[in-house]
C-alpha cells in the first residue's frame, strides 16, 4: 500500500531537509491583502544584467502521501501523485515547479497559490511498473416490453491492471459513467457496487489516502480505488445499462 513519504523536491523553495531545523527565525513572510513579502536578512549580490537570479527563501520538508491514478479510456499510463500538506509557515506562490524523484529530475508542473496549512497535489510522472490494459467495450442492444416498449443498451468494459512492483500500491481507476438529463432515460450501474452516502467535499486541510472501493464523484464519473499486492494482476469489470424510449435519440457528452 502507498505509504507516507517525504515530499519530493517541488520547486526551489522546498528541498529534502528538515523544516523545523532549517526555518530560522530571521526568515520571515508577511502576508498583506494582495501580496506576500518575504524578508531575507543576508546580503545578496545580484549582478545588474537581464538574466534571472534566484535567492533561497527557505528549505523545508513537507508531509506527503503517494497514490496512483489512471484514466484508461484516455491514457493507460498510471500516474504517481504526491498529495502534499504545506505544514510550513510559508505560502507557496503561483509558478513553475521542478519535480525531482529519487534525486533525479522527473517533470515540471505548476503550483500555487498554496497557503500555510493547505494541501496540494504534486505530480511525479508515469510509473511504468503499473500495467493497464483497456479492452474493447462489449456493447449490445435489445428491445424490452410488449405494451410499453423501451430500448436498452448495455455496456461492459474490461480493465486489466497489474502491479509489477515489490510493494503493494493503491490505484484509483477513473471511468466515465453517463448521467441522464431526461427523466425518460434511465441509467443503472451494475458493477462495481458503489458506496452511497459519501461526502464528496474535499478536505483541503489534511492528508488522507482514498478509501478502497467504488464511488461516483460530482461529475457522475466512477472512481474505483483498489489495493494491488506485489505482482498481482486483476481484471475489473464496469457494466452499466441505459433504458430509453425507442423514439428517443441518445447523445453522449463526456466530462472528466
Q: What is the mean pLDDT of residues 64-86?
A: 94
Strand partners of residue 141: 153
pLDDT category at 34 given cuts 50, 70, 90 is: low
> For position 193, what pLDDT does the model report?
93
Residue partners of 139: CB distance under 8 A and separation at least 6 = 153, 154, 155, 156
pLDDT of residue 23: 40
Question: What is the per-residue pLDDT for 248?
Answer: 75
What is each CA distance from 220 to 109, 188, 207, in whole angstroms? 27, 12, 24
Q: Global pTM?
A: 0.75
Burial 75-95 (b: 16+ CB within 10 A, else e): ebbbbbbbbbbbebebbbeee
Is the bond into 192 cis (omega within 30 degrees of 0)? yes
Entry field: residues in the chain: 256
What is the residue whose three cell numbers read 430500448? 151
Q: Is the pLDDT of residue 22 over 70?
A: no
Amino acid at each position: 500500500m502507498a505509504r507516507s513519504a517525504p515530499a519530493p523536491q517541488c520547486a526551489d523553495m522546498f528541498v529534502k531537509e528538515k523544516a523545523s531545523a532549517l526555518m530560522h527565525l530571521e526568515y520571515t513572510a508577511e502576508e498583506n491583502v494582495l501580496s506576500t513579502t518575504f524578508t531575507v536578512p543576508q546580503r545578496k549580490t545580484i549582478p545588474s544584467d537581464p538574466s534571472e537570479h534566484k535567492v533561497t527563501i527557505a528549505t523545508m520538508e513537507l508531509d506527503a502521501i503517494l497514490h496512483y491514478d489512471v484514466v484508461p479510456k484516455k491514457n493507460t499510463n498510471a500516474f504517481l501523485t504526491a498529495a502534499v500538506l504545506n505544514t510550513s509557515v510559508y505560502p507557496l506562490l503561483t509558478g513553475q515547479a521542478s519535480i525531482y524523484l529519487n534525486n533525479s529530475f522527473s517533470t515540471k508542473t505548476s503550483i500555487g497559490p498554496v497557503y500555510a496549512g493547505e494541501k496540494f497535489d504534486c505530480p511525479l510522472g508515469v510509473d511504468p511498473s503499473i500495467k493497464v490494459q483497456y479492452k474493447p467495450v462489449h456493447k449490445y442492444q435489445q428491445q424490452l416490453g410488449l405494451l410499453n416498449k423501451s430500448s436498452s443498451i448495455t455496456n461492459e468494459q474490461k480493465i486489466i491492471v497489474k502491479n509489477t512492483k515489490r510493494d503493494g500500491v493503491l490505484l484509483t481507476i477513473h471511468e466515465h459513467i453517463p448521467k441522464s438529463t431526461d427523466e425518460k432515460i434511465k441509467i443503472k450501474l451494475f458493477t462495481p457496487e458503489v458506496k452511497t452516502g459519501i461526502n464528496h467535499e474535499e478536505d483541503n486541510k489534511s492528508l488522507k489516502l482514498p478509501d478502497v472501493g467504488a464511488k461516483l464523484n460530482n461529475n457522475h464519473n466512477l472512481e474505483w480505488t483498489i489495493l494491488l499486492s506485489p505482482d498481482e494482476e486483476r481484471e475489473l469489470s464496469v457494466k452499466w445499462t441505459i433504458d430509453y424510449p425507442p423514439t428517443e435519440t441518445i447523445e453522449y457528452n463526456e466530462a472528466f
